[in-house]
């Protein structure tokens, strides 16, 4: 479980709550546009050690079938994962916009 993307809509008068309380983990925008570099997992080298998962400030890396997987909707391309990986399993590419 984690906050997840909802349908983006304009909040009309009726949609705005009476008080400042609202559903937790309600996302309407992604962060992919922030990236200038794109981390890429080399699944051949990745052993699923989870160091990148631990140190990602955005929590966008998960381990699936023993390999790191990046949620590119929310990855900002900080590059911490590539630096932390001792096996050189995460490379970086220029982001094409």
Q: Binders of other proteins among 5-24, rule CB under 8 A?
A: 5, 10-11, 13, 16, 18-24
Does the protein bind other proteins through residue 96 (CB under 8 A)?
Answer: no
Does the protein bind other proteins through residue 49 (CB under 8 A)?
Answer: yes
Does the protein bind other proteins through residue 45 (CB under 8 A)?
Answer: no
Q: Which of 89, 88, 84 is nearest to 43 (CA)?
A: 89
Return phi, psi of residue 84, to 5°: -75, -25
3-state secondary structure of 69: strand
Does the protein bind other proteins through residue 33 (CB under 8 A)?
Answer: no
Of the residues 56, 68, 85, 89, which one makes contact with other proteins according to CB under 8 A: 56
- DSSP structure class, residue 37: E
Dihedral angle, C-alpha 14, 15, 17, 21, nearest 10 °: 170
Contacts with other proteins, residue ranges (CB under 8 A): 1-3, 5, 10-11, 13, 16, 18-31, 34, 47-51, 53-60, 62, 66, 74, 76-80, 82-84
């Amino acid at each position: 479980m984690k906050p997840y993307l909802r349908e983006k809509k304009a909040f009309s008068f009726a949609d705005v709550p009476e008080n400042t309380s609202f559903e937790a983990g309600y996302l309407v925008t992604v962060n992919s546009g922030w990236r200038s570099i794109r981390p890429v997992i080399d699944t051949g080298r990745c052993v699923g050690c989870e160091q990148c998962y631990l140190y990602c400030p955005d929590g966008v890396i998960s381990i699936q079938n023993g390999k790191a997987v990046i949620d590119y909707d929310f990855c900002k391309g900080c590059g911490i994962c590539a630096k932390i990986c001792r096996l050189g399993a995460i490379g970086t590419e220029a982001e094409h916009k």
